[in-house]
Amino acid sequence: MSTEPSGIVVVGSINADLVVTLERHPQPGETLLGRTMTVMPGGKGANQAVAAANLGARTTMIGAVGQDAYTVVALSGLHAAGVDTSAIQRVGTTTGVAIVEVDDGGENTIVVIPGANAEVTPELVAASAETIADAAVLVLQGEIPATSVAASVALARGRVVINLAPVINLDRATLLRADPLVVNEHEGALVLAQLTGSDPSDPADHADHADHADHAQTTRALLACGFASVVMTLGGSGALLASATDLLEIPAPTVQVVDTTGAGDAFTGALAARLSAGDSLADAVRVAVLVGAFAVGTEGAQPSYPSLTDQLPAAPTTSSITTGQETDA
């Protein structure tokens, strides 16, 4: 094992995405005719690994797939991006599947069937202990068991990026290793509730620390819980970065939205790639916002991610919320 951490290790989910396009999303009890269905590689972990590798980061994926017809598809994007897949184990169950509905406005709904992702156990993680310890950046999400997230964090010597999506119950010590914690506005409120014992559905419960409608207050409140840094993604509005020295609003460029599937994963993968390359957190978030904006312009998750040869959208100006001053993005 090398003395200095290097590269990115992603411990997380690997899925096949069944992407259905339709005019609008059905109401409860309603049957609609869809337009198309495409099977693509997906899973939040695999998506983030592909996004990072596409941007030139040396990336290793740790996870599990089944031995069914979806396995080849689920692994195809990782292979194409040059991700090291030698630590992925094949288990005796089905490969994870996500059923994605995308409407004419590019908005999606997703139902995830974990399959083999539920078999990413602490023992499976421990089999790659040296690989995890040697990573400059360890990336985790919420689509594998909480015990395995904790086991991964315990092995890490480098920087830990936790994209807690979906929000699962992690012990406080594990959660606070995130630098940054990456969440959207809804996930941020849930994590805050998890750490403070408040009710995320009751605005009165957040009066002293965060308002659901005030994303800056939520990021500040999360920082006050003990995080070194928090990045809150805001979809087409960009992202907020909170750290001990910064509270920055980083806007997204205006782009035509085709499909938002996997855009948040593109963001997290790009963030990890730039951090592993030595960028400051603020600069890494700026690049990640542009990568996320690029990703919504094409159908699917992994097929929409840019490579080093793609032209990213132009960056808008970044605002410092704490001072109100403008800084050159």
Active site residues per annotation: 265
Task: For residue 256, give both structure tokens.
Answer: 């035509």
Distance CA 192, CA 203 (A): 13
Choose among 87, 88, 86, 108: nearest CA to 98. Answer: 108
Q: Which residues pair with 109 in a beta bridge?
A: 101
**222-255: b (≥16 Cβ within 10 Å) or e:** bbebebbbbbbbbbeebbbbbbeebbbbbbbeee
Provide the H-helix boundaries in the chain.
44-54, 71-81, 122-126, 129-133, 146-155, 172-175, 185-196, 215-224, 263-276, 281-295
